[in-house]
């Protein structure tokens, strides 16, 4: 069960020492002025408490679905490029959020952030084979993957679906390119470096624009503009029965 003082320190900019002092002085209570227990039942979270002169919502974990825009890297900080993390201002437990996998600088779309290391491991562990679907604007047609399809570094992509789609049905967050001759949707279960770009290159095409539209059960909402995010629950991410973590 999480401790009240720790929850307050994690969810505010107060240090543990500040929180202890505020608790002793009676400056922390329920919104209706009642004293709070030292330990908080997980089922009671998120919980609104009164700290000093403001209401604070306490979370023990946080999961955020971001529509990563083009031109920023999947990182907490970078010397050269803008970072997707800087667009998460105001998200619960911001300091603890970490990206679940990566999207390239020039890939847009669904990027999940979580404070839960186990959830992160479940979603990225190769054994879990979590499907990721991307839409791509392509410069040329592609050939079907041959049997035993292998990339030049020996990696064998696991493609569960590959099909052409209409430009009109492409996700609004897939950048439109005048030079594109066709659009495609591809679902893979891996997360190797530049995997989708390398797949299309090996199939005789070239990716002009790339957008991740789903990851596991999560789908990129069409009404979530690039750069914005939405909180999601573990059930949204994993469903009812996530199963045991991989060793």
CB of 126 to ligand URA, least distance (A): 15
User: Which residues are paired to 187 by β-bridges?
Assistant: 133, 161
Count Cβ atoms below 10 Å from residue 78 Cβ, excluding itself: 15
Pairing of strands 98-99, 107-114: antiparallel
Query: Is the CB of 58 or the CB of 210 nearer to ligand URA?
Result: 210
- Interface residues with ligand URA (CB under 6 A) are 103-104, 107, 194-197, 210
Catalytic residue among 5, 18, 60, 104: 104
Query: Is the CB of 180 or the CB of 210 nearer to ligand URA?
Result: 210
Query: Is the CB of 29 or the CB of 105 nearer to ligand URA?
Result: 105
223 in active site: no
CA dist., res. 67 & res. 113, Å (int): 11
CB of 107 to ligand URA, least distance (A): 3
CB of 203 to ligand URA, least distance (A): 13
Query: Is the CB of 22 or the CB of 76 nearer to ligand URA?
Result: 76
Quick check: helix, strand or coil at residue 224?
A: coil
E-strand ranges in 30-189 read: 47-51, 54-58, 63-68, 72-73, 82-83, 98-99, 107-114, 132-138, 159-165, 182-188
Quick check: helix, strand or coil at residue 115?
A: coil
Cis bond before residue 228 (omega within 30° of 0): no
CB of 116 to ligand URA, least distance (A): 22
Catalytic residue IDs: 104
């Amino acid at each position: 069960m999480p401790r009240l003082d720790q929850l307050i320190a994690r969810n505010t900019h107060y240090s543990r020492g500040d929180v202890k002092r505020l608790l002793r002085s009676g400056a922390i209570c329920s919104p209706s002025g009642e004293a709070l227990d030292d330990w908080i039942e997980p089922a009671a979270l998120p919980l609104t408490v009164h700290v000093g002169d403001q209401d604070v919502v306490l979370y023990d974990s946080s999961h955020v679905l971001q529509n990563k825009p083009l031109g920023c890297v999947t990182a907490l900080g970078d010397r050269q490029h803008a970072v997707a993390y800087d667009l998460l201002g105001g998200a619960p437990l911001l300091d603890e959020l970490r990206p679940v996998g990566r999207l390239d600088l020039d890939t847009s779309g669904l990027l999940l952030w979580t404070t839960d290391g186990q959830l992160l491991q479940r979603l990225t562990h190769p054994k879990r084979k979590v499907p990721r679907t991307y839409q791509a604007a392509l410069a040329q047609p592609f050939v079907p993957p041959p049997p035993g399809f292998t990339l030049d570094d020996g990696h064998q992509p696991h493609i569960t679906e590959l099909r052409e789609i209409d430009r009109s049905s492409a996700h609004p967050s897939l950048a439109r390119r005048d030079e594109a001759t066709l659009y495609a949707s591809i679902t893979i279960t891996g997360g190797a470096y530049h995997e989708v770009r390398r797949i299309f290159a090996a199939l005789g095409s070239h990716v002009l624009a790339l957008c991740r539209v789903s990851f596991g059960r999560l789908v990129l909402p069409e009404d979530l503009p690039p750069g914005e995010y939405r909180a999601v629950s573990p059930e949204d991410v994993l469903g009812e029965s996530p199963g045991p973590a991989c060793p």
